[in-house]
Amino acid sequence: MRFFIDTADLDQIKEAHDLGVLDGVTTNPSLMAKSGITGAKNIEDHYKAICSIVDGDVSAEVIATDYQGIISEGEYLASLAPNIVVKVPMIKDGIKAISYFSNNGIKTNCTLVFSSGQAILAAKAGATYISPFVGRVDDINWDGIALIEEIAEIYAIQGYDTEILAASIRSSKHIVEAAMAGADIATCPLHTILGLLKHPLTDIGLEKFLADHAKGNS
Ligand code: G3P
């Protein structure tokens, strides 16, 4: 499973990149706003800055919700850097636009996916990635990981090329469960990636190794 980081924070992107495990970045308008990036020019510069750190795919979300608007915005975003993936919401005009982008060699990430039916439609339209929101499904007392599992099964049976990008990851446990469920990628906040490092027996074991080494050298 590949790791994307789900943030617009350049320091966090650099930290995950320096760890050597980063395959890409996803952003959305909320994450941009959280990092204080507002205004078309600043947002554009910010995407360029992210793409200068990361070689892998970087999702840039359109704001337009009508077909023509999505196409012009998406084509503009895609022109900013070769690794930009146009992130398009799961709406009727979005599906139509994904189909257009797919026929014109522009990679897409269909976002706000909450059902297998939506996942099928996005795959039919030729989406490069779909983003099922695991945490937000859990929030309404449904099962976000079960959704990933179901989509993975459908895509395998049908032989769809679209990749499953598990999004709205809230914990390190979500990452492990998404891997088990067949997600191709998990897009994660930095703390959930770093959380994978943690195990008390690792800390205890390392402490003992270092203490024994020190005894042997004293
Ligand atoms: O990748 C989508 C993500 O940013 C949404 O996460 O925690 O707001 O549901 P969250």
pLDDT value, residue 218: 79
Nearest CA to ligand 1 atom 3: 168
Buried b / exposed e over 129-167, threshold 16 CB at 10 Å, is bbbbbbeebbeeeeebbebbbbbbeebeeeebebbbbbb
Residue 212: Cβ-neighbour burial (10 angstroms; 0-12, 13-18, 19+): exposed
Which tens digit of pLDDT belongs to each residue from 155-167? 999 999 999 999 9
Secondary structure letter of residue 199 according to DSSP: -
pLDDT average, residue stretch 12-36: 96
CA 172–ligand 1 middle distance (angstroms)? 14
CA distance 53 to 83: 11
Secondary structure letter of residue 133 according to DSSP: B
Is residue 24 a contact partner of residue 4, using CB atoms and an 8 Å limit? yes
Which tens digit of pLDDT belongs to each residue from 53-96? 999 999 999 999 999 999 999 999 999 999 999 999 999 999 99
Top mutation candidate among 3, 13, 28, 87 for ligand 1, by most atoms within 8 Å of CB: 28
Query: Which residue, among 164, 190, 143, 186, has the nearest Cα to 31 in the 3D structure?
Result: 190
CA distance 211 to 207: 6
- pTM value is 0.96
Which tens digit of pLDDT belongs to each residue from 88-144? 999 999 999 999 999 999 999 999 999 999 999 999 999 999 999 999 999 999 999
CA distance 78 to 101: 10
Nearest CA to ligand 1 atom 8: 168
Long-range contacts of 198-205 (CB under 8 A, 24+ apart): 198/172
**Two structure tokens written together for 114:** 């909450």
Query: Which residue, among 169, 191, 190, has the nearest Cα to 5 in the 3D structure?
Result: 190
Does pLDDT of 192 surpass 90? yes
- Averaged pLDDT score across all residues of the chain: 97
Nearest CA to ligand 1 atom 7: 168
